[in-house]
């Protein structure tokens, strides 16, 4: 999260945009920007070795399993993207749909809303046609944006494999059975059985073809800014627990 925020700072000062496909290590629960801390089972997260941080983007909490989740970020200048939120999602999700199609996963944006099963959990919230990717009505990917005056961050979580028990256990009172979770959420592996690394390669290739980016590394200055953001924001209890 600190690197994404740093990339937005870079874009805001005229630097390049960034596309990342990444893994959470260790497994991490990312909270939506406005999420209430009492919805989280903090003791379970600590005992299970699950980190917790808060995103600058909205929505509910997402358990990013180290193996079961594939995440991406797109950070771009605000003036290069549509002002309309729906149009921006459709544009930035183009390479995601291309990759899923190449994997053999017939995914679309949700055609209609579905009611929430558990509001604090992203994958169990109301399914929204603007930004939720589904397969046969079951959620595969959640996406959210943080829109600054000079930059837009889009985060996406794609379920490679479901870790249902851990995903539910990070919440203090999910009130949802494992069976109900499986009925609402699907995964790449459930659909097509592709290996994780092959799925990641397919996604990265689709992003490369879509944006024609140059390979790049974080500068020393960006890494220092990101470390400061960890200390002062994304790793701090004042931000994560709202204390």
Which band of pLDDT confidence, cut at 50, 70 and 90, is reported for residue 127? very high
pLDDT computed for residue 202 by the predictor: 98
Write out pLDDT tens, residues 69-110: 999 999 999 999 999 999 999 999 999 999 999 999 999 999
Cα angle 68-222-240, degrees, rounded to a multiple of 5: 50
How many domains does the chain divide into?
1
Burial of 133 (0-12, 13-18, 19+ CB in 10 A): buried
Cα angle 29-32-169, degrees, rounded to a multiple of 5: 35
- Here the CATH number for the domain that contains residue 123 is 3.30.930.10
% residues pLDDT > 90 (the chain): 93
Write out pLDDT tens, residues 177-222: 999 999 999 999 999 999 999 999 999 999 999 999 999 999 999 9
Task: Please tell me the distance from the alpha carbon of residue 129 to that of residue 108, in angstroms, as a whole number.
Answer: 9
Q: Which residue has the tokens 């801390």?
A: 37
Domain of residue 15 covers 2-240
> Dihedrals φ, ψ of 159, to 5°?
-80, 110
Short-list 187, 178, 180, CA closest to 69: 187
Threshold 0.75, pTM exceeds: yes
Task: Please tell me the distance from the alpha carbon of residue 151 to that of residue 188, in angstroms, as a whole number.
Answer: 31
The kind and range of the H/E element at 18 are strand 18-22
Which band of pLDDT confidence, cut at 50, 70 and 90, is reported for residue 58? confident
8 A C-beta contact, residue 29 and residue 40: yes
Average pLDDT, whole number, for the chain? 96
């Amino acid at each position: 999260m600190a690197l994404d925020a740093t990339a937005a700072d870079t874009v805001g000062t005229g630097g390049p945009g960034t596309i990342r496909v990444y893994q959470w290590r260790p497994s991490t629960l990312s909270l939506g920007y406005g999420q209430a801390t009492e919805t989280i089972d903090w003791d379970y997260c600590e005992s299970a070795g699950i980190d917790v941080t808060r995103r600058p983007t909205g929505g509910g909490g997402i358990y990013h399993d180290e193996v079961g989740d594939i995440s991406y970020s797109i950070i771009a200048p605000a003036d290069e993207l549509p002002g309309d939120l729906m149009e921006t999602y459709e544009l930035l999700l183009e390479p995601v749909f291309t990759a899923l199609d190449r994997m053999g996963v017939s995914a679309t944006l949700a055609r209609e809303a579905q009611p929430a099963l558990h509001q604090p959990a992203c994958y169990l919230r109301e399914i929204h046609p603007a930004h939720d990717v589904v397969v046969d009505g079951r959620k595969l990917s959640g996406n959210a944006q943080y829109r600054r005056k000079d930059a837009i961050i889009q985060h996406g979580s794609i379920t490679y494999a479901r870790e249902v028990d851990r995903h539910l256990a990070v919440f203090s009172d999910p009130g949802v059975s494992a069976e109900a979770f499986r009925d609402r959420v699907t995964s790449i592996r459930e659909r097509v059985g592709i290996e994780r690394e092959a799925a990641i390669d397919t996604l990265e290739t689709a992003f490369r073809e879509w944006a024609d980016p140059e390979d790049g590394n974080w500068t020393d200055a960006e890494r220092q800014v990101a470390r400061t953001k960890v200390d002062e924001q994304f790793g701090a209890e004042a931000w994560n627990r709202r204390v």
